[in-house]
A and B are shown apart, each in its own frame.
Chain A
Amino acid sequence: MAKATVNTSAEDRLILTNKNRRWDEVRGRSLVTICAIIMIAATISVTVFLAQKGLQSFTVNNINPIAYLTSTNWNPVGSGEASYGIFPFIFGSLAVTFLSALVAAPLGIGAAIFMSEISPRFGKKVLQPVIELLVGIPSVVYGFIGLVVLVPLVRDNLPGIGFSLFAGVVVLTVMILPTVTTIATDAMRSLPDSLRQGSMALGATRWQTIRKVLIPAALPSLLTAIVLGMARAFGEALAVQMVIGNSRDIPETIFDTSATLTTIVTLNIGHTTYGSIENNTLWSMGLILLVISFLFIFIVRYLSGRRKV
C-alpha cells in the first residue's frame, strides 16, 4: 500500500523497518524454538541418563531384577554374602505416601470447600496466604521441626523411639496439605454457579449441595489434587530422612523405624564409591523413583482427560 505514494524518505524508512522486522521475526522465532527444544532435550536426557545408569546394576553387576525388587534383605556391605533387596524401602515409600495422602486428602479438600463454599472472603483474605506460606516453607525446615518437636513428642507419648514411620507420615501430611488444598480449591472454584443455584433451588442445604452435587462434579480434579500430593510425598527426601529412622527392615507397627527409597539414596549415594555394586543399586532406586513419578503424571493425565468429557 505504501507503494502507491511517491518514494519519500518515509517510504524508504518503512521498507527498511519491514526488512528489519522480518529478520527480527526469524530471529525471535528461532530463539524461542531453541528454548522449547532445550526443554525437550532436558527431559529426554534426564530419562536416558538415569535409565542407562540405573540399569547397570542389572546389566553389569548381574543382579536379578526380580530379587532386587522383592527381596527383603538389604545387606550391601555386611558380613557374609552381600544381598540387595529393596522391598522394605519400596514398602516404606508406599506406606508414607498412602498414609499421608489418607490424612491430607480430607483436610485439604475440606479446606478447599471452606474457601470456595463456606466463607470465600475469609478464605481469600486469610486462608489463601496461609497456604501460600505453608508451601513456601522449605522442606528441610519441616524436617528440622519434625526432628526437634515431633520425634521427642512421639518418643515420650507413644511406643517406639520416636523416629518412626508415624513421624514421617505426620511431616509429609503437613507438607502435602497445601498442595492438595491449592489444587482442590481451583477445582471447586471452577464449578459453574448454576450447579449451586440449581441444587439450592431444589431446597437442598449447603452440605447436601456440597456432598451430592459439588463433590461428584469436581471429583476428577479432586483426585488429581490427591495424586499430585502423593507425588510430592513420594519424592520428598530430606524431611522424611530426618525423622523416619532409616532402618532396613519392614516396620511391624507404624511406630517402628523405617526407610524409603529417597532416604536410602540420600544417605548412601555420597558415601559409596562411584561404580561399585552398592552405588549402582542406589542408582537403580533413583530410576524407580523416576519411573514412579512418571506414573503419577500419567494418572493425572488420565484424570484430566476424564474431566473434559
Chain B
Amino acid sequence: MNSRITDRIATGIFYTIAAIMVALLLYLFYFILSNGVPQISWDFLTSPSSAYQAGGGIRDQLFNSFYILFITMIITVPLGVCGGVYMAEYAKPGKITNFIRTCIEMLASLPSIVVGLFGLLIFVNITGWGYTIIGGALALTIFNIPVMVRVTEDAINSVPKELKEASLALGITRWHTIKTVLLPYAFPGILTGAILASGRVFGEAAALLYTAGLSTPTLDYGNWNPLAENSPLNIFRPAETLAVHIWAVNTQGLIPDIREVANGAAAVLVIAVLVFNILARWLGSVIHKKLTASK
C-alpha cells in the first residue's frame, strides 16, 4: 500500500516536471512573440538602425546575419561533410582516430566566447584585417564544424550495411560507393542537420562580438561589387548581426526605444530559428520519402 502511494506521488512529480517544461516554452514564446511581433513592420525590417534617435530598424543587421550564415555554411558544409565521411568510412580504429575524435569533442565543447577570443587573436589582430565578415565566418566555422562532422557521420552510419556491401561487392571503389550510394542515402540526414546548425549559427553572438564587430558601415544595396567599401557583399567589412544587435542595444545602446527595437529583433531572431527548425523537419521527411519511395 505504502509503495503504491509513493509510486503515485512520484508519477505526479514527473508529470509536474513535464508540465513545467511545456509551460516554460509556452511562456517564453508567448513573451517574445506578443511583445515583438507588433514591432515588426516592413519599415522596421527595411530601415537602417540609428545610433541616437528612436525609430531605427534592423535592415543591415538582418542582411549581415544571413550573409555571415551563408559564408559560414559555404566553408563549413564541405569541410564538415568530408570530415564526417572520413570518420565514418576511412578512419581505422586506433590512436589517430581516437585523437581526431578527442579534437572534435574539444572543438564542440569550446565556449563560444573562447572561439570569439581565438577569432579576435587570429583573424582580427594577427592577420590585421580588423573586424570583418570573413573573420566572423571563420570563427563560426570552428564552432560549427564539429556539429557538421557528427551529423554526417551519424547519417552515413545509418545507411543500411547491405547497400554499401552490395556496392563494394560489385567491385566499385570505396570513394565511388561513398559518392553514389552512401551520400545520396545520407543526404536527408545531412541536410536536416545542416539546417539545424544554421539556426544555431544564426543566433550566435558571443563568437561574433569581437570578430565581426559591433558596427556596420553605411551600405549601398545598389552596389554589388564585392570589393567596394560600401557594398553589402564586401566580406572585409565589419558587420553587426541581429543577435549581436540585441546584446549591443541592451547593454550599451543610447537610443530611447531600446525595448521596442530589442523586442522586435528578438522576435525576428526567434521566428527565424523556428523557421529553420520546421524547414529542417519538413525537408528531411519530404526528401526521405522521395528517395526511398516510401509513404
Which residues of A are interface residues toward B (Cβ below 8 A)?
21-22, 24-25, 27-29, 31-36, 38-40, 42-46, 49-50, 53, 107, 110-111, 113-115, 117-119, 122-123, 126-127, 130-134, 136-141, 143-145, 147-149, 174, 177, 181, 205-208, 210-211, 228, 231, 234-238, 241-242, 262, 265-266, 269-270, 274, 283, 286, 289-290, 293-294, 296-297, 300-301
Contacts and interface: CB of A to CB of B under 8 A. Distances in A.
Contacts of B102: 297, 301
Contact of A110 (B14, B85, B266): B14
Interface in B82-124: 82-83, 85-87, 89-91, 99-100, 102-107, 109-115, 117-118, 120-122
A276 to B, nearest CB: 13
A139 B39 CA distance: 21
Contacts of B145: 39, 42
A107 B111 CA distance: 24
Question: Which of A40, A177, A210 gathers the greatest number of chain B CB atoms within 10 Å?
Answer: A40
A28 B175 contact: yes
Given A28-B174, A206-B11, A290-B114, 20 more contacts: A28-B178, A28-B179, A32-B89, A39-B107, A46-B115, A49-B118, A50-B117, A50-B118, A111-B21, A114-B14, A114-B17, A127-B22, A137-B28, A140-B244, A205-B4, A231-B111, A270-B210, A286-B113, A296-B109, A297-B109
B24 A174 contact: yes
A50 B83 CA distance: 24
A140 B99 CA distance: 34
B250 A147 contact: yes
A17 B291 CA distance: 27
A265 B196 CA distance: 29
A153 to B, nearest CB: 12
Interface stretch (B54-62, B200-208, B227-235): B200-208
Interface stretch (B159-167, B218-226, B267-275): B267-275
Given A118-B14, A144-B250, A144-B266, A130 B114 contact: no
A149 B24 CA distance: 13
A137 B21 contact: no
B274 A136 contact: yes
A42 B141 CA distance: 10
Contacts, number: 253
A49 B142 CA distance: 14
B69 interface: no
B269 A141 contact: yes
Given A39-B145, A39-B149, A136 B111 contact: no
Contacts of B99: 40
A14 to B, nearest CB: 10
A140 B83 contact: no
B246 A141 contact: yes
A31 B142 contact: no
B170 to A, nearest CB: 12
Contact of B82 (A35, A114, A123, A134): A35
B174 to A, nearest CB: 6
A289 B113 contact: yes
A272 to B, nearest CB: 12
B34 interface: no
Contact of A139 (B29, B78, B103, B205): B205
Chain B contact residues, majority secondary structure: helix
A147 B17 CA distance: 25
A131 B28 CA distance: 12
A132 B113 contact: no
A94 to B, nearest CB: 14
A133 B172 CA distance: 42
A238 B247 CA distance: 7
Contact of A294 (B106, B142, B209, B210): B106
Contacts of B125: 274
A265 B4 CA distance: 53
Nearest to B142: A42
B10 interface: yes
B205 A238 contact: yes
A21 B173 contact: yes
B172 A46 contact: no
B20 interface: yes
B22 A32 contact: no
B282 to A, nearest CB: 13
B107 to A, nearest CB: 6
